[in-house]
Structure 1
Amino acid sequence: MSTALSSETLPTWPTPIKQRGLAVGASDSGHTKDSRAAVNTQKDEEKQALPEILLRPWQQGIENAGQPLTQTAARWQARIAAYARTSFLSAYAAFVDNTLVALLQALRLDDLFRKATPWLEDRLAALTGTWHRMADGRKLSYSLVNNTSPDFSIPRQYSAPLVLEEGAAELSNAKGAAAGYRPELAHFLSLCMKLVYEKEEVMQDTVETKWGLRYHKYFHTGTETFIAPEPEGGGATAFVPRTRAALLGSPHALVLVFRGSEPTNLINLRSSGRISMTERKGLGRVHDGFYGALFHDDNESGVLFDEIVKAIEAADPEGTKALYVTGHSLGAALSLLFAQVAACRKPAIADRIAAIYGFAPPRVGDAEFARHVSAAFCTTSSPGPNRAFRVCHGADIICRLPPRMLQYADAGQEVFVTSTGRVLFDPQEVKRWHNIEGWGFIPLYLYKVVAGVFDKREKFLRSLYRLFLLVTFPGLTDHWPADYEGKLRKALIREVEGKSGHTAVL
């Protein structure tokens, strides 16, 4: 008696050889032509079902063989040029971070910068008329980072408590994961990463008075200067990273935000410049500077990671609130590192993490670290939507440092914000725009300089900053926190306009 073969009984993926032999051998000699046709059809289906990774090399070999030599040469020329450009900018940034910073430290100019910063901030505030007015009538200057764009207002398209409440609701409804990318949440967290550069008084006043949230705690480690008393018994003074973070809250969620590198603080730059990696248990190899900024133990504040965990548990003793982690630049690296360490060592905290938004993030660790992040927070490995996002803008060189040639790898889902304000997710589209931003850097940047002059939310001084950075540090021209926040604000408003059909006010 013959066995009938059908598409319902046969697997779609290639059947092991022994199983295929049994299936065919089980049929007797009384097969009809239709039966043999069915077998041949099944073999064709199995061949078509072969994994793409097995077929791709043969297909590429055939396609490449038919390509003109000029096309192949042009493709390799483009690859070599892109590699050379990235390598040059990486080497330039490494020189600034390590050599120049060490020279300024040796000349004791770090203290001079630190003392001159408040004076310079006050002079710029007086020059531009940008002061933060407290409820008691006092005027405080904004930081050098935000003086050119000191607007911390929330657009009328959402409110801070509401956007955090919606995020908490999505977290509770999803299976074992938190909400994916949302424009309102992305913009609000970009405001948080921008605000954390300000004085603590300005932060607390903005959070409680303008945003309607609660200001829980401000974290700080390290000293204000490199100059520190020598340890007992002699020897070199231990380097203490200067790390800043804040914890905000609503009835439904908490927001942990890390501050990035301050432009006149050499301690921050030295932390970012320590690009060696060390194997950490359960993490893979991790950037020594970033790890030290989160785990250095000093006499005043102890281990920052432990302090933050205690503050989160105190702010939410029942463990019911969603937790959002964010930061810019150095702060973006620390936000991702904090989340992954929590996933490894404090699962109760990691389970609360609804999303991680790192703006202008440098690379944190090697491929193993990236795999751990993917398994814990990305949809490629874990159930539910993505929770870890790397938000990159234009030709920001920090997003490409430390370079891959040092075995660093990108971690998290990339969200690319173009110079024209588009927000992209598709890997192929992102790759295409990386090339556009790289090769069209000068015209795109000049476009942003001109557009900034007519932008009501930017001061004229910002255009001067852009031109200065274009000449001195071209890799940092798209790194400004205000660029990220401003682009995401406009993208959010355009999306709301498209849905409602009404014109929204920026």
Structure 2
Amino acid sequence: MSRRRLEGCDYVEISTRNDALFFDTSAVLVQSPGRKLTILSFRGTQPQNAINWLTGVSARAEYFPAGGKVHGGFQRGLRSTWPVLQELLLAALNARPICDALAHSREKYLSPCGAAKPEAPVSMVPAPITDAIPEEKELLPSLYITGHSLGGALAVLAAALLYAQADAGVFGRDRRQVRSWIRGVYTYGQPMVGDAAFASMNGDLGKKLFRHVYRRDIVPRLPPRIMGDFMHFGQQYDSSEASWMPGTRPARQAISLGLSNLVGVLSWFTQDVVPLQWVRLPFSWGDHSPLNYMRTSLEAAPGEEFD
């Protein structure tokens, strides 16, 4: 955040893990000094983490609160962090310090046996702000949600859940106010998360969803068709020599998990291990590396993401 000219931010990291239910979720919430800018970032798949991989392949569809069906593993991963995340996001929405909200949440959920539980919810009255930095004064109150790979899928579901809860009045604010607070969802190498009904129910959110796909990354083509009918929504951006450009062909589902992964591994091998420039396969695991997404994004001028 300091490299993006926002110093002195508060951040909270929330991690949950349950091997039996196949999820290991980590999210970081960042709040700017003036409390106008909030960023929610979900960690992507860790290559050595078997539970992360099991989260991805446990794709049995589950109903989403606002309608449609979504990837079961992704939904369980998000729901595991949501009780605390929801309270922190409520505090951020109301310009309250997220660190204070975290302390309240710990008392609420993790008080020792016999300890008194807090009776009053986190105040909805904004606290005085004394340490805002000049660059932040021009910003509107904004929430950005982001993630790579598995983290991108969780980012989309988190935004959709916020939309659904805003419609249900969970945040005690007008639905339009909560929805306008969500300024953008930026995902990188994101797999598909839901079916056609889920995509259509989130048409308005799709205007704020920017999916970035690096070259022939295999993950945006997953889950494969054999695991169910999934589809993307939102705006796709493809990599180019000049950073990111609007995509012309949305990523479509691969056919099978085994064959697609085999092709993806072979493509990575011919790209990075034994370079064979004349071999061009349709999918690649090598193109999924976050390093590729970071390098391409660095071609953009600092601050463009806030325009």
Q: Same fold (TM over 0.5)?
A: yes
Letter in 2 for 1:305: W
Counterpart position of 2:233: 411
**Does the CA-based 8 Å contact 1:255-1:324 persist in structure 2?**
yes
Post-superposition CA distance 1:265-294 (Å, at most 9, x none): 111111111112122332311000000101
Counterpart position of 1:219: 14
**Does the CA-based 8 Å contact 2:268-2:284 persist in structure 1?**
no
Match of 2:143 among 316, 319, 323: 323
Structure 1 unaligned spans of 5+: 1-151, 162-211, 227-237, 297-303, 379-385, 432-440, 450-462, 496-506
Q: Does residue 489 of the first structure (1) align with residue 298 of the second (2)?
A: yes
Quote the Cα distance in structure 1 between the aligned partners of 2:301 and 2:286: 23
Identity score, percent: 27
Structure (1/2) with the larger strand percentage: 2
Q: Do the aligned partners of residues 268 and 426 (structure 1) sit closer, same or farther apart at CA in structure 2, a change above 3 Å counting? A: closer
Counterpart position of 2:47: 263
Q: Do the aligned partners of residues 421 and 283 (structure 1) sit closer, same or farther apart at CA in structure 2, a change above 3 Å counting? A: farther
Question: How many Å apart are 1:411 and its aligned residue?
Answer: 1.7
Letter in 1 for 2:215: G
Quote the Cα distance in structure 2 between the aligned partners of 1:280 and 1:395: 30
Match of 2:164 among 344, 348, 359: 344
- RMSD, aligned CA: 3.3
Q: Do the aligned partners of residues 350 and 404 (structure 1) sit closer, same or farther apart at CA in structure 2, a change above 3 Å counting? A: farther
Match of 2:212 among 391, 395, 402: 391
Q: Do the aligned partners of residues 359 and 466 (structure 1) sit closer, same or farther apart at CA in structure 2, a change above 3 Å counting? A: farther
Question: How many Å apart are 1:466 and its aligned residue?
Answer: 8.8
Map 1:6-405; keep pairs closer than 5 Å.
154=3, 159-161=4-6, 212-223=7-18, 226=19, 238-239=20-21, 241-250=23-32, 251=34, 252-296=36-80, 304-318=81-95, 321-347=141-167, 348=171, 349-374=178-203, 376-378=204-206, 386-404=207-225
Question: How many Å apart are 1:445 and its aligned residue?
Answer: 7.7
Following TM superposition, the consecutive aligned residue runs of length 4 or more in structure 1 with deviations greater than 4 angstroms are 444-447, 463-467
Q: How many aligned positions are there?
A: 230
- Of structures 1 and 2, the one with the larger relative CO (CA 8 A, separation 6+) is 2
SS of 1:282's equivalent in the other structure is coil
Give the TM-score normalised by structure 2. 0.66
Quote the Cα distance in structure 2 between the aligned partners of 1:465 and 1:308: 44
SS of 1:220's equivalent in the other structure is strand
Quote the Cα distance in structure 2 between the aligned partners of 1:478 and 1:323: 29
Quote the Cα distance in structure 2 between the aligned partners of 1:465 and 1:246: 37
Letter in 2 for 1:313: L
Structure (1/2) with the larger helix percentage: 1
SS of 1:242's equivalent in the other structure is strand
Larger radius of gyration: 1
Structure 2 unaligned spans of 5+: 96-125, 127-139, 172-177, 252-263
Quote the Cα distance in structure 1 between the aligned partners of 2:45 and 2:243: 26
Question: How many Å apart are 1:343 and its aligned residue?
Answer: 0.6
